[in-house]
Structures are given as C-alpha cells and as structure tokens.
Structure 1
Amino acid sequence: MDNFSAFLSFMAFVLLLKQILIVDGISDTTKDDGFMGILGAIVDNSSRIGKEESVAMQIAVEDFFNKNNHRLDLKIRNSQGDPLQAAIAARSLINTDQVQAILGPQTWEEVSLVAEIGSKSHIPIMSLADATPEWATELCTFLVQASPNKLKQMEAIAAIVQRWEWHQVTIIYEDEDFSAPAVLSHLSNALKEVGAEISHYVAIEPFASSSLSEELERLKISQNRVFVVHLSLPLAVELFEKAKRMKMMEKDCVWIITDPFASLVLSLNASTISSMQGIVGVKSYIPKNETHFRDFHDKFCQRFSLEYPEEDNHEPSIFAAQAYDAAWTVALAMREKKQGRQQIISNILQSDFNGLSGNINFTSQTIAPAHTFQIINVKGESYIELGFWSDGRGFSETTGESYTLQSSTNALGLVSWPGGTRVTPKGWSPPTSANPLKIGVPTRASFKQYVEVEMEKDHLGNISCSYKGLAIDVFKATLDELPFDLPYHFFPFNGTFDALVEQIHLKKFDAAVGNIVILANRYQHAEFTAPYTESGLVMIVPVRSRTREKAWLFIKPFTNAMWVLIGATSIYNGFVIWLIERNHCPELKGSISNQVGTLIWLAFSTLFSLNRNKLKSNLSRITMVVWLFMALVITQTYTAKLTSLLTLPQLEPTVVDVFALKNSNAMVGCAGVSYISKYLEEVLHFRQNNIKNFSGSDEYAPALRSREVAALFLNLPMAKVFLAENCKSFTMTGPTYNVGGFGFAFPRGSQLLPSVTQAMLKVSEKGTLQDLEQKMLASQKCMDMDPEEDERLSHSVSLSHFWLLFVFTGGTSSMALAIYIFRAYNSMSMSKHNVIWKLMMAVMKHWGNQRGRFSRKVSDIAQTTPTNSPNATEY
C-alpha cells in the first residue's frame, strides 16, 4: 500500500513538472511541426479567480494540442492584483517573450494599462474583467472583452424582489469598484420597472474594517431589511462574518448576493459558509451537463488540487470556464501559420462556437452578454439550486421551461431564509424608539382646521411646537389601528407642499402629514395613503336674494295648480249658494250680466270677509259654513307663507356655472402656489390674467364680497370649512371637478404604506373619521335656521297639503246642490199634476159649454193656480 501511494505521488510530480515546462515555454517534444506561437496571460494568483483562470488556461492549451495537434506555448505572469505589476508583466511578455496575444487581467484597472501597451504593439488583449467601457474598445482596436457583461443579473434581482413583494432594497457595493456605477444604474432601473426602489446606497471601502462595522450598525437600526450585496470575495466574506456577529443574519432579514461573489460560494470554507446561511444568490449559469464541461471538470479538479492544495474546494466556477474559452478562442485564431497580428484579432472577432460558458461570438469587440442566471440558496456547507432566470422568460425550474412571475409562483424552490425559517421575511421592520419616524408637517396650511403648528418659546429661548387639526387627529387615530407601535416625531416644515413631498424623496423626512393633495406629479417623489377626505374641486360664489325685484311675489305662497283649484272651488261654491238663495233675495235677480257679477262677487268675497246677508236655506247655510272654514285655513296659510317670503332670505348663487364666468371675462380666485391655478388655466381654460392667487384664507371672503373676484375655487374639504364659517353669504355651485383628496405621503416603495393605508381604512369604516370631521366643522358652524324649516319655507304650498279640505268643501257643496235639484224637481212635478187634474174636472163638468167658455175656464184655472205652491218651497 505504501509503494502504491509513493507511485501515485511520483506520477503527480511528473505531471506537474511537465506542465511547468510547458507553461514556461519549454516542451519535452522536439517536434515543432504544430507550433503556432506563444500566448501570454496575466492573472492574480493571490485570488481564487486568478488561480482558477491559471489552471483553466493550461487545460485549454493542452486540450487544443490533443485535439488539433497544434502546440501553443503559454506564458503566465502574476500581477498580484496590482495594475502597475500588470503593466510590467505585459511589457515583459511582449518585449521578452514575444507573445502574439495576452489573456487577462481580471480587473479593469489592470486591463486599462495592459490594453494601452498592447495597442501600441498591436497585440490582441483578451480582457477577462467583469466590465469594460464601450469607449475603451473604440479607442483600443486590439482590446477584446472576453468575459460577458452580467448586468442582466440586476433584472433577475428585481424579479426576486417582485416575486416576494418587497418594495425597497439597500445595496452594498465596493467604493472602488469600476463596475459599480453601471450596476447601480441597471439595478435602479430594473427595480422601478417592478414598483420598487433602492432606499439606501452603502459604499464600502476596501481594507477599512471600522467603516464596515459602522455601516452595518446603521443598517441594523434602519427599517429596510432587504440587502443586495455586490462585493468582491474578500470583502463579502468579511461583511457576512461581521453581520452574523451583530445578529443581522437572523429572521426578517433578506440578503441577496451577485456575481462574482455568488459564483465563488463553493470555494469558501465551512466556517465562512456558516455565516452565510439563508442568503439568496444570483450566479452565472454554466451548462454543467454538457459532455465537454464534465470532461473539463474532472481535469480541473485534479490539477487544481495539485497546484493549490491550500484551497478547500476544487470546483470550477464561471471564471474558469471563461478563461478556458478565451484561451481556446485565441488558439483557434492563431491556428494558421505565418499570419500577422491584425489577422489574429480579425479571426478572434469572427469566432462562433459553443464553449464551456456558452456560445462564443463577438459584436464590436465584445462577447455576447449573459442572459441566463442560476438562483441559489446557501444552506449547510453548500447551496441548493432554486431555479433559473432568463431574460425575457422569467423564472423556471430548469433551463428548458419558462414561467412568468404572474403565471407561476412555484417556479422557484422553497427557500431557507436567514434564521432557518421558511416563512418569507417582510423585508422591513417598524421603527423603534431609538430611531423613530421623522414626519414633516406643513406650517403654511391655508386652513388651520386641518393642520396648525403653534410654536412657543420658553424663558430659555427653546422653541417647542404643538400640532393640531383634523390631519393630526386622523393620523393619530390611524396609528391606534396599527398592529404594532410606530414611534414618531413631528417636525415643522416652512415650505410649499411640493417641496415637502420632495423632502421625503431626499430622505429628509420619513413621511409627511397634513392637508396634502394627492397629485400625479407628486408620485415621482412619494406615494400616498388612501385619501382621508372627499376629493374634488368646487366653485364658491356669493349669494343674492331670489325674491328681490320680483313683481309676482304675491302668487309665490301657492302653486299654480293650487291657485286654479281655489278659484274653481270658490266659483263653484258661489254658484251653489246663488242658485239656492236667488228666490229669497231680490239682489240675486235681475239681468244676466247683473246675476253673473253678483255670483262672482259672492264667490270671492267669502274668502276675505264673512257674508253678512242672512241666508234663508239650510242647504246654503251648510255650504257656507264649510266654505268659510276652508277660506279661513287658506287665507291664514297664505298670510303666513307670504310673510315668510318677505322676511326670511331666499338666496340663489350669483353665478350658475363656469361658462358664465368665462363668457363674462370675470376674475376668479384660488389658493396661491397650488395646483388649482394650473388646473383652471389648462383644464377649465381660464385666461391666466383672469386668475388671482391668494396667499391666505382670510383674503377669500373680502374678495368675494367686494366683487374683486366673481368666484373662488377650492378643494372640497377646504370649501366645507369656508362655508361653515361663511354660511349666509356664499354657496357652492356648479359641478365638482375630479381631483385628488388629502392623504399622507410616504417614500416610494415604503414598507409602512400598506399597513398605514389599511389602518386608515379601518378608521373610516368604524365611523371615527366622519366623527372627527363633523367635530371640526361643528366648531366653525354659524347660527343658521333649521334646515328642515328652511326647506319647508322655501317651497310653495301645493295641492298635496290641502286636497282633503278641497274634497270636503266640494263634496258638501255638491251634496247641497244635489238635494236642491232633487226637491225642485219633485215640486215642479207635483205642480204640474194639480193643474192637469183641475183641467180634467173642468172638462167633465162643463163638457157641454161652448168652446169659448171652455177656453176662459181654462184661463181662469191657470190664473188661479198659485205661483209659489207650498210644495215648491226652496231649500
């Protein structure tokens, strides 16, 4: 067994010695038929990435020789991460070793110097830096970006934030990282697309341990708990070790790591991994199932363990795959003998093959960017694969199928979050007493009923502020409905409302409370709760008497139908009495015109005075009694109604609508420095010269009374307060224009906003909000008439009030008339019967008399018949 171990050690030594000879340009073969030239490489052997690149390039050179029988000498120089050392190494490779191309280095700071040297000597430089500026490849025609741009991973991070419904993130990046500005810009834009934003930017200085600790202390007391870490391997390891000691790797925290750190997780030792439990990472995708990669994987692990036994993990990362592909690309470009350096760079840019890291092709001296990333979750001594994210396809369980965020919430595997919990963290924590919310309150509010800031100075000169008003009361009631305590401090702000909202965007305030109108242009700086007042813009105008200078006021107490029915009933009742009493009263007889005039006089005089003439018939007396009762009620009602019209104000607006204002070229007023002026000009199309801005609410009423302005435009909540103070002089008229109500402002993407909005809705649904508003308005209410009485007196009396009385009097008159007609008919019938009987007796008695005598007898009988028979007595 010992002999076998010694044999293996010997073979490993031989292989290592052979590789060293090859790397230094010394080959154990004397055949130069396949020799293509010398390839240089600059790596940082003090870093994990540099070690992986070095081994991967060696394997690429060997594989190319074995497959194509073309030998390429590889010269590797160690820059130790120092740009100056990289420049010296580049000069040595070009001038001494006569290389035909250079691979690396890893950082842009090194690449920038090496590219300048390479371009002067027309040597192709295959940059392996994370990012290369576009202008660099334009200036340096021999510079090629060989590692793909990974900025698309920022969209993957934004998708993760959207997947778990977080709204704010804190990004931690390296201060001296050249790629940081591009990363921050792409991440910010990607988050905005999903309704989130970067709340804090934390720049970490390399090799500044105290600075790192201070930043973590500040992050620990902040509300946001979603952290995106974009750091190099050493700095990221230090960050997580400190975070664990500070108990920031527990529940309710979210940590998301990016490349290059995410791709190097497997290279970390067990102790470091233990401080990173629960973090989610976005790493570059490597097609590990490909046969080519599996062969490379075995070779890499074997050689890497021999060359770097101090490393705990021997797994190749994306950086090894990219270095292998870069070496293979140059080898293909140099395969033709005796070709110039210009041809080499041309061949490189025409490359198109499937490498270990994906398809290799170039556009404008830059390799195609990465579009697929793997989502991992650190757990135990390694990580678990949650799924994949691809540009334009979203999340998927494998690279072969895709799901959109909306169609599948199970596209990613179950996550083990920091603290070992499976429950998705909220991503934020409520403010504590040590770090309460800073809430701005406007001091320039037009109506103090909504918000008022009173400042008092004590004998020591210290200023204290008290805050009151409906907005303050609603805010406090809302906090009472929250399921957690929310410490806060009010701070006065002496500026415009737009400026106050901008202060939230600038992180000067955590929120703003007051009569802040919810407007679209303010959403670029903040977001708002649900409105706690009615929304709308209304027009207020002076009022004038509705009855002023109207000659027909005397008919207003009754409706037209009421007047017609009174007249008809009076004529009808007068006719009935006239008909019944005409045989007893000589005044009721005479010519037709005289009788008609008497009838009309009798009909209407009863309404205003009692008829003193003595009535003979009981029927007419009954009719008159009912009629007089109706007349008494009607006259008293008319007198009372007319008195109210003459004594109580009947008011109407001086202006009906906006069109009347514009047609008359009238001046209109609004609050100064507000959106209303812009709304009047752009939406309602008032001329700018016809709009007057007032600086205070105390100017509104005098301007309306003096006709300085014909109308005033206010928010509906403000209009309620104004009319409560001036209830008899002004009124609200015209339509209500839809604009935002009053709300509280919070930073965009605030984690508190949903909870505060929900609590405010509870305040509204319980009726507390309405009670607070009524209490505020009641304190401003002026003494006005009872609304019910005002409504009653403002309408004319109609038939609905007296229909029963009219039926009663009409029915009584009709019954009297019917009885009179019936008795008159019977009397006339009996009179006719007596005449006929006497005629018959005369005929029988004087049958024989002469015709003349018969005629005279008939005449005598007719003359002796009484005109007013007792049977014809009228009632």
Structure 2
Amino acid sequence: MEKAPRAIVVLLLLRLLAHFGAVALNVSTNPGADEFHVGVILDMGSLVGKEARTSISLAAEDFYAVHRNYSTRLVLHVRDSMGNSFQAASAALDLLNNYNVKAIIGPQKSSEAFFMKDIANISEVPVISFTATSPSLTYDNIPYFVRATISDSTQVNSIASLIKFYGWREVVPIYIDTDYGTGIMLDLLEALQGNDARVPYQSIIHQSATRDQMTQELYKLMTMQTRVFVVHMTSSMASVLFTMAKEVGMMNKGYVWIITFGVASLIGSLNPSVLEAMNGALGVEVYVPKSTELENFTIRWNTRFRKDNPNDPLLKLSIFGLWGYDTIWAVAHAAEMARPTKDKVQMHHMSNSTTTLKGPGNTQNGMNFLDAIFQYKFWGLSGYFDLSERQLQPTRFKIINIVGKGWRDIGFWTAKDGFSQRLTKPRSNRTYLGTKPYLNPVIWPGESTNIPRGWEIPTSGKKLQVGVCTSGGYPEYIYAEKDPIITGITTASGLVVDVFEETVKRLPYALPYEYVFYNTTENISSSYDDFVYQVYLKKYDIAIADITITYKRSSYVDFSLPYTESGVAMIVPVKKNINTTTWIFLKPLTFEMWFGSIMLFIYTGVVVWLLEFLSNNKNFCGPIPKHMVMIYFSLFAKKEMVERPLSRIVLIIWLFFLLVLTSSYTASLTSMLTVQQLQPTVTDVHELLRNGEYVGYQRGSYVKDLLDELGFSKSKIRRYDNIDEFRDALSKGSSNGGISALVDEIPYIKLFLAKHCEGYTMVGPIYKTAGFGYAFQKESPLRGDISKAILNITGGDTIIQIEKKWIGDQNKCRNVGPVTISGSLTFESFKGLFILTGVASTSSLLIALAIYFYKNKQVKSGNGEQNFEQKVKGDTIEASFIIQFTQLSGLSPGCIARNAFCSIFWNTADFA
C-alpha cells in the first residue's frame, strides 16, 4: 500500500501537463471580504452532477444574501471528474497547488473518494462529499473526510424489515462490482440474516457489462427459485437492467424488485420508458419534510436549471441537490468561524524525478474548519443537518411503489416504530410482524395486487426432486421401487405418499416434481439419517418417508408440521379375566382401606354407645352384650333410639361416610366385572425395568437410545424387523425367549394393532415425540405452504380416509388407544373422610365427658330438687354447645327449627 500514492501521483502529473479547464464562481459582493477558496469536483455528465451544480450555485447566493455582514466569501472552483477516478484526483491536485483551496466538496463517487484519500490525508485539507455513500469510507481511512449524506448501511434495516414484513425468506442482491456496490453487502447480508432471510446467490454485474451480458445474467436468475431481488447500482446501470428484465419477462407477476436509495432518490429524473419497465418495483428513499422554503426553492431551481441545461428537460431536483445546497451553507458558515492562515500546499520535485505532495506541516487550519462544521447544526432544505458524527443520520425512510410513469408512497419506516402509513399516526409498541395494515396496498409487477410468494419453480429448470425410500418394517407407510430396465422411473405408494400427493394438490400453485429412489441399507436408522442428509447436500429438494422429526436431524434440515400422531408407547399382551373369583368382592378396596374402615366402624360404635350410656339411655340397659350394641348403633341406630344431640351429630357424619364408601365400592366392583378383560399385563415401563423383563424395538429405530436412557441393559433389549416377528416375540414372553413389551412409535403401534387386534393392547404414551414429517432444505420456501396444506388435511376427514385405506378401520379394534385400568380404592383417596369422621366422634366424646363430670360434681354438693335443676342445667349447657356448633357451621337456630335435616338433633324433649 505504501507504493500506491507514489504511482498515483506520477499518473496525475501527466494529467496536469494537459490543459485543465476550470470554472471559478466568485460570489463575493463585498470587495473587502477575505476569499475562501473551495474546490468542487463533480461528474458533470451525470444526473447528480448536473443538479448539484445548480444547487451549489444557488446556495452560495442565498447564504450571502442572508449573511451580508460576513467577512469571508466563498470562491468555488468547479471541476469535472468525467466519472473517472484519475481525473478526480488530478482535479484535486490542481485545486490544491494552483488555487490553494482550503476545502474540497466532492468527489461525487465513492471510488473517486477512495482514489484520492491519500491526497486528502497528506494535504490535510477537509473533503466533504454529499454523494459518496459507500460504508467503506470512514474516518479511520480518511481522517479529513466528512460525509454530508447518509451511509448506504443506514438503509439495510429498512430493506430487511420490508422483506420480513411480506414474509419472503430468500433474497438475491444484484449489485455492481465497485466500492459503491460492494460496500453495502456485508451490512445488508447481516440485516437479512437477522430477519430470517437467506441469500442463496449474489448477482455481481461488472460496471462495464454490456446489454448481452446483463441479459445472460438475468436468464441465469430466471432458472432459480428466488423471485425477490434487491438492486443496488447506479441509476444509469439500473435503467439498463430493468429495461432488459422487462424484455426477458422478469417484470411479470410473481417477481419482486426492490431498489435501494441511490436509484430511488433519482426516480423522478429517469426516462419514462425506464419507469414503465420498473412498474411494480419498490424503493427506499430518505424522507424529506415538506416546507414552504423547499417549495419556493424548487421553483427557483427549476428555472435556473432549465436556463443552464436546456437539453435536459426531464431532470428534477432530488435529495442530492438538497444536500449539496445545505453543504454549501455549512461550508460557508465554517469558513467564517474558522479563520485559516494563508498556507499553501506545494509540489516538491524529488531527486528521483517523481512528484510528491507535501502538506503545510500544520493541521490546525483543517481541524478548525472541521470543528466549525461539526458544531454547526441547522434546519436545511433536506431536514435537520447535523454532521457532528461525520455523516448525516436519517431517522425516517419512505417506501415508494413505482406505478405507471410515476410513483406513490406506500408508507414510512423508522428504526423505533417500524412501518406506518403516516408519520403522524400514533403508534403502539407492536412490531411490524403484526402491522400489515400500516402499509398501503402495492401494485406489484404484472399489475398484480396479490403479494408475491417470493419464489417459483422455474419453468426452464428441472422438476422438484423428491427423495423416497421403502420403510424398513412397515411398507404400508411407504414403499418405493425403481424400474431399472424399461423406464427407470421411480414409483412410490403408501400412507406417506398419499398424504404428500394430497398436500401438493391443495397448494395454490402448480408444483411439478418427480420421485428419486434412495436405496436403504440394513441399518434403517443410519440409512434414514443418511437419507435426510442428502437433502442437506441438496441432492433432493424434499425427502418423504416415515421420517421421525428429531433434534439431530433438524440441525441440518427443516421439517414440515407432523402428519401423524406423536409419541412412543408400548404394545403388551392382554391379561385374561382372572378376577372372577369367589373373593373378587374384596378387591375394590385395598387392605389399608378395609382395615381403616373396620377400625373406624368399631370406634364410631364405641363413641355412640358411650354418649348414650353417659346420658342414662334406657335402650342400653337390656341384656344385649355391649359389643353387639356398638355394632348395632354404628349401623342401624335410628333417631328414636338415641337421645343426645351429640350422638346424632356423630351418626349423621358416619352415615355420610358410609354413603360415599358404599357408592365408590359399588362403582369399582362394577368396573372390575365389566372392563377387566382389557387389562394389560404391564402398565408401566419402569415395572419392566424393575422386574428385569425383556423389551423389544424395531431394528434401527431411535427408540433403542430411549431404552438405554431409561436404564435397560443391552442384554434385556431385543430388536426385530417386522410385524410378524413382533407378534411371535410377544406371544412367547420373556420367560420363553420373547419379550414382555414392544416399545415403538404410536403410528407403527396403530398399524400393528390393526392387524393383530385380539390379545394385545397399547399402553402409554410413555414418551413424547414430534411424529413423522417431510424434510426440506434449510430455509426452503416450500416448507410453509406444505405445512399449511398438512394442517388442512389432518384437520378434516381426509387423513381418516387415508389411514383407513392403509392401516384399516381402527374403530373395530377396542385395543387401539390407551387402556384405562380399573384399580382398587386406596386409603389416600378417603383420607379426608376418615379425618372428618374421627374428629367429629372424638370431639363429641370429649364434650360429653366434660358435661358428665360437671353434672356429677354439682349433684354431690346439692339436694334432690337441686339435682333435678342441675340436670336440666347440664342438658341446657349441651344444647347451648349444639347451638354454637350450628352457628359456626353456618346454620342459624331458625334454620334448625325449620329444616328437617337439622331437626334430627334439635328436639326440645331432649332437654326436658
């Protein structure tokens, strides 16, 4: 890199030998003012160069018309770079050495700025460009460079957001191989990737490409699936590109074209025939706020431009002209604020006959001038003009749609709020993912109003390659074969194929495809992994088979939504009805439940007997043994036989317990007598593990890894190839060289049970999986449409008919589906009732004992009359407790008097 400046200067010196035409614009109206010489380098043959020259001239006039008292006056020296980097650098040397310019406005192109960066660094003269937008031009490589325009990288997020807004997943950028074209690509690719868009191909067009070369590249793009293109090139090349695209048929329905800021900003100056060719394209522009000053300036600019350029009647004022205008205001103001010394950059001839450029040896002038520009912020014609960060920072972009020979706004974009139809419309915090109503309708290429999918199967390309193979143990799902002799055509059949073909029929477009046979080997699992991997290698566009969606496979392909039931379950033999025995009536309750019920039954009888015994109930004074009385009262005691309210409370709660228990017992026993024939031999996979039973799986299935994770030893796992082997192994059982259960995916289990319904059933699912799906290449545009069609099929009757065709009528087999086992009633289920009954009985007994001892104490200390009064008083105390108890439970005394349920324990005769 050190030799580059020396070689450049040698070539530039040769250019200086020729006559160099110059135009100086001295706008000084004050004879005593100091002249501040500024160089202007533009491509006068370009649209931007022509309009910028008019804007610069008007800007200098307007600035000093407003600031008449300024002591400095700009002297503008305009040079024509002719679109050539050498010419631009030559002009810079001429301006520095012959006119001692203190600043250079331009050059116009990014490539020209790169070419003359060493001149700017050595001369220490600020270079201000309002047209060079390449992100590669930075402060790091050109310290004295200021961009009075935006960087192309500022628009990439708006483009990426637009791609995501319409749901396109693939984009092809088309750009020229210059600093301007390539500078944006890194930022654009990063922005697209951040918005889930993929770039399968980049179309690079040489800046000197002919029309035939462009046509050839367009035909190449037509053979690809992607139909979304982002065009980033100069306006002249873009005009040729779109003209050729229309000729080859790429401006028809289904295509999407997006032009970047460089072309969109000059859309008003393009030839009407070019605009007609661009019909339907979208563009990104920097938003310029409307103002009275801008309207008045536009009228003046049009008048001046027509006078200066009578041969360019179509050229209109663009934002580049506005930036040129505002740049002159910033430079003129900085010239007044920073008073430079009269240093001069000189050419020194070296002894080796080369030419070098030597700076003044003092950077103070250049830095003062830059500081003055950075500090000057104002509202210009282009909007808020602030160069404090060495470039403009746009806050809003406008999205345009080219229609007819003009264009219209369809919305605006900001980094904060995303898209909107109007800048003044209040926005919520919603992202643009849900804000499609906030963009106006678009007229797409081909005058279509429907949003293009963004991809197509190319008519001139090959058909979609659909990989198929034969299922290892279940050909009902898929069977494929290739005719090796006659036609060589691959045919496929099965449930998987029927679902796929039905899905293709429901797509809103034609999808030509052909089956490609993949020959599986003995290890089905590794073959399926290899089969799916062929999609990653782009040998197939889609792979269809009974492919389980797994995490490993999803790392290199994308899957559609599943079209089968998901999960892993077990096939186990069914038990015979062994419970129709003499003692089956004991099975509805567990041992703990029987023991607890009997103990509570005895305890309740004891409590009732004690309560009545303490109240001297004459019904307890007969010759019947005490334990018989307890049993009788716990089961058959009536209201007339018990006298105390406490006894009646205990009996009511006990009877409620008996009601619940007997109802549950009856239901459980009924279930055992009617459903017991469906009970499987095994209900839990961990039971197999604890008992050391053998389990089986389909050869090559990933279920083996699942069994390993569950803790089964390799010696207890057996593999089989087909349904007949599964059945034989299950019929033998673990003790006879077979298996106790077959662990497999539910779709396979349904097929097994459809063929062998009697004697087997499904238990589970014991493990969750994603089911079967179709494999696509990463970011395939087909995946979304196929998945939607699958939802349409699986949500209706179609999938039922397809399954009935290949699997059979599953409703005829009651064993299909999880089996519900009727178990015994456990103590845990009735714990609350046991506690309630026990607490009620114990509390009543304690209260009765307390009343009994209190009454006896009072009897011993009084006479007979007092004894009677104390008895009544004791009964009143008990009655008072009952009243308080009912109030706490939500019952009022009035309720007790009226309610038949309450009257069981509320009787005034009990207290007489």
Query: In the alignment, which residue of structure 1 is the partner of 2:549?
Result: 518
Taking the aligned partners of 1:106 and 1:114, their CA distance within structure 2 comes to: 12
> Against the structure 1 CA distance between its residues 285 and 563, is the aligned structure 2 distance closer, same or farther, given a 3 Å change threshold?
closer
CA distance in structure 1 between the aligned counterparts of 2:367 and 2:538, rounded to whole angstroms: 54
With 743-752 and 304-313 compared, the bigger mean Cα shift is at 743-752
Is 1:286–2:294 an aligned residue pair?
Answer: no
- What is the Cα deviation at residue 99 of structure 1? 1.7
1:265 shift after superposition? 0.9
Indicate yes or no: 2:169 matched with 1:174.
no
Contact 1:431 1:487 in 2 (8 A): no
Q: How far apart are 1:146 and its partner, in Å?
A: 2.6
Instruction: Tell me which amino acid in the other structure corresponds to 2:273.
Output: S
Which residue number corresponds to residue 516 of structure 2? Answer: 491
Alignment of 1:670-689 (within 5 A): none
2:321 aligns to what?
A: 320
> 1:440, 1:426 → 2: CA distance?
24
Name the count of aligned residue pairs.
672
Cα drift, residue 173 of structure 1: 1.5
CA contact (8 A) 2:175 2:182 kept: no
Residues 1:658 and 1:321: Cα distance change in structure 2 (over 3 Å): farther
2:468 aligns with 441
1:603 counterpart residue number: none
How far has the Cα of 1:248 moved from its partner?
A: 3.1
In the alignment, the residues of structure 1 paired with residue 387 and residue 715 of structure 2 have an alpha-carbon distance, to the nearest angstrom, of 64
1:47 counterpart letter in structure 2: S
Matching of residue 450 in structure 1 with residue 480 in structure 2: no
Match of 2:391 in 1: 367
| Residue 78 to residue 529, structure 1, CA distance change in 2 (3 Å) | same
Which of 234, 245, 248 in structure 1 is aligned with 2:247?
245
1:693-772 → structure 2 map (5 Å cutoff): 714-721=744-751, 732-746=762-776, 752-753=782-783, 755-764=785-794, 767-772=797-802
Distance 1:777 1:83, change over 3 A: same
| TM-score (normalizing by structure 1) | 0.65
Q: Distance in 2 between matches of 1:428 and 1:294?
A: 43
User: Given that residues 181 and 233 in structure 2 are in contact (C-alpha distance below 8 angstroms), is that contact kept between their aligned partners in structure 1?
Assistant: no
- Structure 2 CA distance for aligned equivalents of residues 348 and 563 of structure 1: 96
Q: What is the CA deviation profile of residues 603-653 of structure 1, one whole-angstrom value per residue up to 9, with x for unaligned ones? A: xxxxxxxxxxxxxxxxxxxxxxxxxxxxxxxxxxxxxxxxxx9xx999724
- Whether the 8 Å CA contact 1:360–1:367 is kept in 2: the answer is no
TM-superposed CA distance for 1:310, in Å, is 2.8
CA deviation after TM superposition for structure 1 residue 213, in Å: 1.5
- Partners of 1:478 and 1:509 in 2: CA distance: 18
How far the C-alpha of 1:147 sits from its partner, in A, is 1.7
CA distance in 2, matches of 1:503, 1:76: 62
SS in 1 for 2:246: helix
SS at match of 1:41: strand
1:199-598 to structure 2, matched below 5 A, reads: 200-206=201-207, 207-220=209-222, 222-287=224-289, 289-335=290-336, 336-338=338-340, 340-362=365-387, 365-403=389-427, 405=432, 409-429=436-456, 432=459, 435-441=462-468, 447-458=474-485, 465-482=490-507, 484-492=509-517, 509-519=540-550, 527-539=558-570, 557=581, 560-561=584-585
More displaced stretch, 144-153 vs 369-378: 144-153
Q: CA deviation at 1:320?
A: 1.6
Where do 5+ consecutive residues of structure 1 fail to align?
A: 1-20, 548-552, 565-644, 797-875
| Aligned residue number for residue 47 of structure 1 | 46
Q: Is the CA contact 1:100–1:124 (under 8 Å) kept in the aligned structure 2?
A: yes
In the alignment, the residues of structure 1 paired with residue 139 and residue 693 of structure 2 have an alpha-carbon distance, to the nearest angstrom, of 65
Distance 2:109 2:705 in 1: 53
Q: Secondary structure at the match of 2:89?
A: helix
Does structure 1 residue 652 correspond to structure 2 residue 681?
A: yes
Point out where structure 2 has 5 or more consecutive residues left out of the alignment. 1-19, 342-364, 520-525, 589-675, 824-912
CA distance in structure 1 between the partners assigned to 2:312 and 2:509 by the alignment: 48
CA shift for structure 1 position 198: 4.4
User: By how many angstroms is 1:28 displaced?
Assistant: 8.0
Checking the alignment, whether the CA contact within 8 Å between 2:757 and 2:813 is kept in structure 1 is: no
In 2 relative to 1, CA 407–338 (structure 1 residues): closer, same or farther, beyond 3 Å? Answer: same
Q: 1:74 to 1:523 in 2, by over 3 A?
A: farther
Q: Higher mean Cα deviation, 310-319 or 175-184?
A: 175-184
Q: How many Å apart are 1:266 and its aligned residue?
A: 0.6
1:393–1:402 CA contact under 8 A, matched in 2:
no
For the 8 Å contact 1:671–1:714, the answer to whether it is kept is no
Say if 2:283 and 2:399, in contact at 8 Å, map to a contact too.
yes
Alignment CA distance shift 1:299-1:483 (3 Å): closer
Does the 8 Å CA contact 1:197/1:749 hold for their aligned counterparts?
yes
**Contact 1:167–1:750 (8 Å) recurs in 2:** no
Contact kept, 8 Å, 2:261 with 2:284, in 1: the verdict is yes
What is the Cα deviation at residue 29 of structure 1?
6.0
In 2: Cα distance, 1:690 partner to 1:309 partner: 95
Give the counterpart of 1:138 among 129, 134, 140: 140
| Distance of aligned partners of 1:472 and 1:328 in 2 relative to their CA distance in 1, 3 Å threshold | same
1:49 to partner: Cα distance: 2.0
**8 Å contact 1:352–1:360 — kept in the other structure?**
yes
Quote the Cα distance in structure 1 between the aligned partners of 2:382 and 2:27: 31
Match runs of 1:23-62 below 5 Å: 24-25=23-24, 27=26, 33-62=32-61
Q: Deviations over 1:346-380 (max 9, x none)?
A: 333333222333323345x5324323112222233
Residues 139 and 417 from structure 1, CA distance in 2 versus in 1: closer, same or farther, beyond 3 angstroms? closer
Q: Secondary structure at the match of 1:173?
A: strand
2: CA distance between counterparts of 1:533 and 1:414?
39
Task: Give the letter for the 2:463 counterpart.
Answer: P
Pairs within 5 Å for 1:189-200: 190-191=191-192, 196-198=197-199, 200=201
Contact 1:661 1:710 in 2 (8 A): no
Give deviations 1:649-694, integer Å, cap 9, x for gaps.
Answer: 99724x83248638979999787595x677778xx67699999998
**Where does residue 689 of structure 2 map in the other structure?**
661
1:146-165 equivalences under 5 Å are 146-163=148-165, 165=166
Q: Deviations over 1:528-559 (max 9, x none)?
A: 4332110113356x769889xxxxx7x75556
CA shift at 1:267, angstroms? 0.5
Residue-by-residue CA offset, 1:549-574 (whole Å, 9 max, x unaligned): xxxx7x7555623999xxxxxxxxxx
Cα RMSD after superposing both structures: 4.8
Asked whether the 8 Å contact 1:539–1:712 carries over to 2, the reply is yes
Q: In structure 2, the residue corresponding to 1:286 is in which secondary structure?
A: coil
2:768 maps to a residue whose letter is: N
Cα distance in 2 for partners of 1:321, 1:662 equals: 83
Instruction: Give 1:343 deviation, angstroms.
Output: 1.6
Quote the Cα distance in structure 1 between the aligned partners of 2:813 and 2:274.
Answer: 79
The TM-score normalised by the length of structure 2 is: 0.63
* Letter of the 1:121 counterpart: S
Superposition deviation, residue 92 in structure 1: 2.4
Q: 1:376 to 1:472 in 2, by over 3 A?
A: same
Write the deviation string for residues 510-541 of structure 1: whole angstroms up to 9, x where unpaired. Answer: 3332223335676676554332110113356x
Task: Flag the 1:299–1:426 CA change in 2: closer, same or farther, 3 A.
Answer: same
**Structure 2 equivalent of residue 72 of structure 1:** 74
2:599 alignment counterpart = none
Q: How do 1:103-118 and structure 2 match up within 5 A?
A: 103-118=105-120
Q: How far did 1:232 drift?
A: 1.9
Separation in 1 of the partners of 2:47 and 2:545?
Answer: 56
Which aligned pairs between 1:115-126 and structure 2 lie closer than 5 A? 115-126=117-128
